Amino acid sequence: MAFAFRNLLLYGDTMNKKQFDKQSQLEGLMMAAPVIPVVIVDDPKKAVQMARALVAGGLPAIEVTLRTARALDCLSAIAADVEGAIPGAGTVLDAAQIAAVEKAGAKFMVSPGASSKLLNAADDGPLPLLPGTATASEMMELGERGYVHVKFFPASVAGGAPYLKALSSPLPRFKICPTGGVSLANAPDYLALPNVLCVGGSWVAPKKLIDEDDWGGIEKLAREASALKRG
């Protein structure tokens, strides 16, 4: 983890051992594939089939958003039954959800933004958090708390790839996962940037294909996404 060690040297005052380990874990899962699928699913059986298709297509890290009544059950089912998956929880907004997703077997968490209460709770727990940011100031505040890996949300309307390119020179240490409005067509614009490790998106697991149990279709979308190149 040469990159993470370099950042530890630069920001050792803000990155304790626990945060260093969490940032290293985030780097690993953001480098596992160029795309982290963002999924909205409400049926654990479908969640398992969908996750198997995503993993088969080359996308192991999967963000299960806490936006359905049975999202936690879907997360636990993927954690228990899908070999090779790195299940994460998305739309994590508070301390209670952090405790719940940890219990459900999440390996990482994603939030659309970052409140002090959420960050404090994440500091106390074992799971790495990929917090949402949309401005230089938000990134700098996260940097002061030892964060290097962040989500850029909502990417397409917050400025898109040109905005992230502009941030890469003054804030080179941040390694970013743009999410929100990302597609197979525009993902290369983001992945070409030096400060982008991966993108997040729901296009690889669309509702229509989940409703139709079209796991082959999802695997095909995952395969296309996993073939995207960085740099």
By beta-carbon proximity to ligand 3PG, the closer residue of 34 and 201 is: 201
Q: 134 phi and psi, to 5 degrees?
A: -140, 0
Active site residue 63: yes
Out of 22, 27, 107, 151, which one is annotated catalytic?
151
Taking the complex as a whole, the smallest distance from the CB of residue 181 to ligand 3PG amounts, in Å, to: 5
CA distance 1 to 175: 13
- The pattern of x and - marking residues 58 through 97 that bind ligand 3PG according to CB under 6 A reads --------------------------------x-------
| Contacts (CB under 6 A) with ligand 3PG, residues 10-49 | 38
Contact between 181 and ligand 3PG per CB under 6 A: yes
Mark the segment that binds ligand 3PG (CB under 6 A) among 26-34, 170-178, 198-206, 215-223: 198-206
By beta-carbon proximity to ligand 3PG, the closer residue of 3 and 203 is: 203
Contact between 182 and ligand 3PG per CB under 6 A: yes
By beta-carbon proximity to ligand 3PG, the closer residue of 88 and 90 is: 90
Active site residue 144: no
| Contacts (CB under 6 A) with ligand 3PG, residues 121-150 | none
> Which residues make up the interface to ligand 3PG (CB under 6 A)?
38, 90, 154, 179-182, 201-203
Which residues are known to be catalytic?
A: 63, 151
